[in-house]
Amino acid sequence: MCGIVGYTGHRQAAPILLDSLSRLEYRGYDSAGLAVRNGTALAEVVKATGKLYHLADKTDQGRALTGNCGIGHTRWATHGDPSVVNAHPHVSGNCSGSGSGAVESDVVGVHNGIIENYTELKEKLLRHGYVFYSDTDTEVAVKLVDYYYKKYKIGPVDAITRCMVRIRGSYALALMFKDYPDEIFAARKDSPMIIGIQDQESYLASDVPAILKYTRQVYYIDNLQVARVSPGKVLFYDLNGDEVSMPLTEITWDAEAAEKGGFEHFMLKEIHEQPQAVRDTLNSLVKDGRIDLSETGLTDEIIQGIEQIDIVACGSAWHVGMAAQYVIEDLAGIPVRVELASEFRYRNIPMDRKTMVIVISQSGETADSLAALRVAKERGTMTLAIVNVIGSTIAREADHVLYTLAGPEIAVATTKAYSAQLAAADVLAIHLARIREKITQEREDEMLAELALLPDKMARILEEKERLQWFSSKMANTHDIFFIGRGLDYAISLEGSLKMKEISYIHSEAYAAGELKHGTISLIETGTLVIGVLTQKELYEKTVSNMMECKSRGAYLMGITTNGNFSVEDSVNFTVYIPKTDEHFMASLAVIPLQLLGYYTSVKGAFRSSWAAARSLLKTVHWTVFRARRTP
Ligand code: M6R
């Protein structure tokens, strides 16, 4: 996720900006940049790819940039490669975008978020003579502000609000205007931004930890507001350009908690970021109500020629493949094989150009997945990568790339990247089905409408997390957990089981429910927790009867099902209800309680083991003291 910082006051800005950016490094980034004003002089822009120390080296730790007002940015590529030209800040003037010194420009800016209609806005600006040096949506935003600023000869606040009315998507913007030295203008919609004040200094940041060292007095700029920031002072404006007052808040968190946004662990934070990750991913693939995969280069002709799909991945990404298999086969009627990358690379599977190999990977660097991609290419197949990290090796080497927009994932246990991959796979399945005329336009519209509702439904499940927290504390002593389901519910079970064992260290297995009786059922004994995933109408009764077989051996049962659809409360010990959606998309909702279960069980387990460690320490101390007393 990108980071924004800003400073205006009496001290040299660049070292403060670099320091603030360093406090956002945990969010991940691929390039960084600064723009600093020295009074009425032109802004100096410096940018660098890679780690922040490259930017610090380029500017002699900021000392080489004189000036008391500036903005800074760490970029996580969404539009265009990670490169110096695409790195922020961006400028309204005509230049190479190389970011190496004073730039003749009326507006300079940095941006977080995604501008969905940037292509349309760019075309408008091109018609008005603007020239673009980067592939970013940010350069479009900066030039659009410049356009209104000059066309209507209005002030920065009015130019920005005009721009906000035209922009669709999410953004946090920080801008400097040549004619307004010592001032920074900020605006936001659905992307965070705060402004801190201390004496005669003002700070800007997209996240609290960036400025916590300097001030704890902050304003939270509201959605669709503009802020005019000068040393020690901020004015706020609504979309009409009318001044509004905002309350000053004192931050009481410590820095580490702030980095985690108040969550105890990154995993929990990322679980909560899933609605946004799914929303961003869907918005990048569905524009104006229509699926738009043009950026992947997958043409209708290519899609019509596909005879077989092989999905190749590792771990949770492989589980996404398992879920996608059911959805693609059911909707598009294309045979799908799902292969573990570590196996696929050593197999001699016959394939040709009519086979499409889809590699799914969050990092885009997983060795087995990359090797599998290379094997597929050597065998002459067409390859598509579903990847989260822009410019990663898998993304670069695949013939076609479909990016998920989950942002950087810090926790090792994947959650939001998994959900973003599922959403991308669902959109792909619908697109394949529509192009191959397996579904009508009306059906496509219905399914897209359902997909668009998923983020809110995910948020609703998260609101009820306390029940799962309670259940986890009750079950934290369990030694074995089985996750069972059929069809898509089996794919969900695989991910639930991995999340559980990966972080709680409790043994767990995922089984296709009907397979359990072929031997493994002998492991079910009194107290074994069996979790049945029951989201598919056709298969629900069969899975419930498998659960009953487990119950007769003493298992404790939990069921995940949809509200009002299936009644399992009489049969199982604990039921989790999730909202209804199209059955093809159930994995996106059912996985959330399972992630929470894994997380809370592991937290409870960690508490248990630290309590056990404390008890054994107390025992040791007791015996040492006791022996010492008895020793003459
Ligand atoms: O970066 P990738 O998606 O290629 O990683 C694949 C797996 O290592 C990954 O999904 C792993 O299973 C998860 N981190 C588990 O939570």
Q: What was the pLDDT predicted at 565?
A: 59
CA of 454 to the centre of ligand 1 (A): 23
Which pLDDT belongs to residue 630?
39
- Among 2, 69, 163, 550, the active-site one is 2
CA–centroid distance, 271 to ligand 1, in Å, is 15
To the nearest 10°, report the CA torsion of 423, 509, 546, 553: -150
Establish whether residue 22 lines the binding site of ligand 1, counting it when its CB lies within 6 angstroms of any ligand atom: no
Per-residue pLDDT, 1: 66
Could you tell me if 185 and 133 are in contact, meaning their C-beta atoms sit under 8 angstroms apart? no
Whether 317 is in the pocket of ligand 1, judged by its Cβ within 6 Å, is yes
* 366 CA closest ligand 1 atom index: 4
H-only helix segments in 225-273: 255-259, 266-272
- The upper half-sphere exposure of residue 154, i.e. CA atoms within 13 Å in the direction of its Cβ, equals 16
Cβ(363) – ligand 1 distance below 6 Å: yes
Our mutation pick for probing the ligand 1 site, out of 312, 366, 414, counting the most ligand atoms within 8 A of Cβ, is 414
**To test ligand 1's pocket by mutation, which of 366, 499, 602 has the most ligand atoms within 8 angstroms of CB?**
366
Q: Which of 266, 271, 314 to mutate to test the pocket of ligand 1 (most atoms within 8 A of CB)?
A: 314
- SS3 assignment for 73-85: EEECCCCCCCCCC
What are the per-10-residue average pLDDT scores of the chain (632 residues)?
92 97 86 94 92 95 96 88 92 80 88 91 96 94 97 97 94 96 94 92 92 93 94 97 93 73 89 95 93 95 97 98 98 98 93 94 92 95 93 90 90 95 98 98 98 97 93 89 97 98 94 93 93 94 94 95 77 93 98 97 70 46 41 34
Q: What is the dihedral of CA 455, 461, 464, 465, to 10 degrees?
A: -100
The finding on whether 191 has its CB within 6 A of some atom of ligand 1 is no
Residue 373 near ligand 1, beta carbon < 6 Å? no
CA of 318 to the centre of ligand 1 (A): 8
pLDDT of residue 624: 40
In whole angstroms, how far apart are CA 612 and each of 75, 303, 409, 602? 44, 58, 32, 15
Ligand 1 pocket check for 497: Cβ under 6 Å: no
pLDDT of 405: 92
Catalytic position from the list 151, 213, 517, 619: 619
Q: Distance from the CA of 315 to the center of ligand 1, in angstroms?
A: 5
What is the DSSP code string of 553-600? TT-EEEEEEETTT---TTT-SEEEEE----GGGHHHHHHHHHHHHHHH
> Alpha carbon 474 to chain centroid distance?
31
The atom of ligand 1 lying closest to the CA of 394 is 4
Cα-to-centroid distance, 232 and ligand 1 (Å): 46
* Paired tokens of 558: 């939990």
What confidence score (pLDDT) does residue 257 get? 67
C-alpha span between 54 and 212 (Å, rounded): 24
Mutation pick for ligand 1 pocket among 362, 403, 499 (CB with most ligand atoms within 8 Å): 362
First to last CA, the chain: 65
Ligand 1: does its nearest atom lie under 6 Å from the Cβ of 412? yes
Alpha-carbon gap, residue 111 to 561, rounded angstroms? 41
Q: Is 342 in the pocket of ligand 1 (CB under 6 A)?
A: no
Residue 550 is a catalytic residue: no
Cβ of residue 316 lying under 6 Å from some atom of ligand 1? yes
- Residue 168, helix vs strand vs coil: coil
Q: Is 393 in the pocket of ligand 1 (CB under 6 A)?
A: no
DSSP secondary structure letters along 8-21: ESSS-HHHHHHHHH
Q: Does the beta carbon of 414 lie inside 6 Å of ligand 1? A: yes
Query: Could you check whether the bond before residue 231 is cis, i.e. omega within 30 degrees of 0?
Result: no
Distance 508 CA to ligand 1 centre (A): 18
Residue 418 CA: nearest ligand 1 atom is 10
Distance CA 270, CA 583 (A): 25
Residue 170, Cα to own-chain centre: how many angstroms? 14
- Ligand 1 contacts CB of residue 229 (under 6 A): no
| 151 carries an active-site annotation | no
